Amino acid sequence: MESWDGMTHKRWFQVMIFFVLFFLLVWLISITDFIFLPVVQTIGAVAFPIIGAGVLFYLAKPVMHLLERFKVNRIVSIILVFLLMLLLIFLFIMFIWPIVQRQVNNLIETVPQMINMAEDFIYNWQDNMAAVPDQVVTAINNFTQNIPNHIDSIINYSFGFIGGFIGQLFTIIAGLVLIPFFLFFMLKDGERLGPFITQIFAKEKAANIRSLMGKIDDVLSAFIQGQLIVSFLVAVMVFIGYLIIGLDYALALALFAMLTNVIPFLGPYLAVAPALVIGAFQDPMNLIWVSIIMLVAQQIESNFISPNVMGQKLDLHPLTVITVILAAGSIAGFIGIILAMPFYAVAKTIVVHFYQTYVKSKKNKEDALI
């Protein structure tokens, strides 16, 4: 019979103990939530400006380093980066936003007309399709009769969302005010974070942690920079395509495509939905043209742009992406969908790094025994 001391050195036993302790920790946290709830609320209050500054940090860092290569002082480089951001915001507000606002207003004004056209189509279809099963006709009648109720529900939900948004408006404004301050110190002192954390560890462990932090930095940089660049290029391609076929509200739809493409894998399907609806009311042939434009844009993006922009640093399987996004969406809603993939990529990087460290350590011990 195997001794207790021998069993404790077995890998399966250590893994089992780990999971037991992990779930015990989760249970203890759940019954002492009165202690952790204030901490979570405090973290939530500063999460928005930190995340916003973090995204801008990975966009601004390459520009800052480029300026430093030309012997520009770090503080001066940061000031120039801020001025460049303000210039881009100014150009967007002056030249792009008025067009988008006008197109969105025109779209809102045509929504009742589009609803009437949809109702007329359904009624004509019912009158001319005598062979339609009674169950289908009943379902269509119920839907058309309840269209006003559906519209009221959408309006009530929208007002409820706006009310909640207004309730959070002060927090959002405070977060927007804090973002530039967080961003400034991230750009100024971000490189000191690694040495500050690792100074309490032994030399070998400190090197290992610095290696891990470098991998996390590379993954976040590849994801944030790559995803935003890819989304921008996809928006440019679909905008050109929409202009060629003469689709209404082309710029607004292209900007919507850029925003939704930030969501990996599911973004393109969300982006094409309003374009298909608007295109169908304008001309039924647009259903084909819009589908072709989005298909061509996605093929160019997946085969040429993403491999060159993001490289192979993320290595995320599509099935994994779908699973993570759906799980994050059910837990944290839209914010969870946006943040799911970078969090997953970082977690995967940490797990792979420690596994490789364990394998390397085990191999070194075996070599030492030989």
Measuring CA to CA, how many Å separate 248 from each of 112, 152, 270? 16, 27, 18
Which of 18-22, 25-29, 88-92, 347-351: highest mean pLDDT? Answer: 88-92
pTM, rounded to two decimals: 0.75
246-286 pLDDT per residue, tens: 999 999 999 999 988 887 777 788 888 889 888 888 888 88
Kindly report the number of other CB atoms within 10 A of residue 263's CB atom.
22
pLDDT digits (tens, 9 = 90+) for 30-62: 776 666 666 666 666 677 788 888 999 999 999
Q: Output the average pLDDT for the chain.
A: 78
| N-terminal to C-terminal alpha carbon distance within the chain | 29
CA dihedral 228, 260, 313, 44 (to 10 degrees): 90
Determine the average pLDDT of the residues in 123-152.
59
* The predicted structure's pLDDT at residue 162: 45
Closest CA to 321 of 306, 300, 305, 304: 306
Residue 87, pLDDT above cutoff 90? yes
Structure tokens at 236: 């440019």
Q: What percent of the chain has pLDDT over 70?
A: 71
Higher pLDDT, 63 or 163: 63
Would the pLDDT of 244 be above 90?
yes
Given a cut of 90, whether residue 77 has pLDDT beyond it is: yes
Q: Please list, residue by residue across 179-213, b when 16 or more beta carbons sit within 10 angstroms of its beta carbon and e when fewer do.
A: beebbbebbeeeeeebeeebeeeeeeebebeeebe
**Amino acid at position 260, single letter:** T
Token pair, residue 278, equals 């608007």
SS3 250: helix
- pLDDT reported for residue 14: 67
% helix, strand, coil for the chain, step of 5: 90, 0, 10
Q: What is the C-alpha to C-alpha distance for residues 272 and 295, in angstroms, rounded to an integer?
A: 10
Any residues with CB less than 8 A from the CB of 176 and at least 6 apart, and which? Answer: 49, 52
Q: Is the pLDDT of residue 83 over 90?
A: yes
**C-alpha torsion angle, residues 219, 224, 227, 228 (rounded to 10):** -160
Residue pLDDT, tens place only, 198-219: 787 788 788 888 888 888 888 8
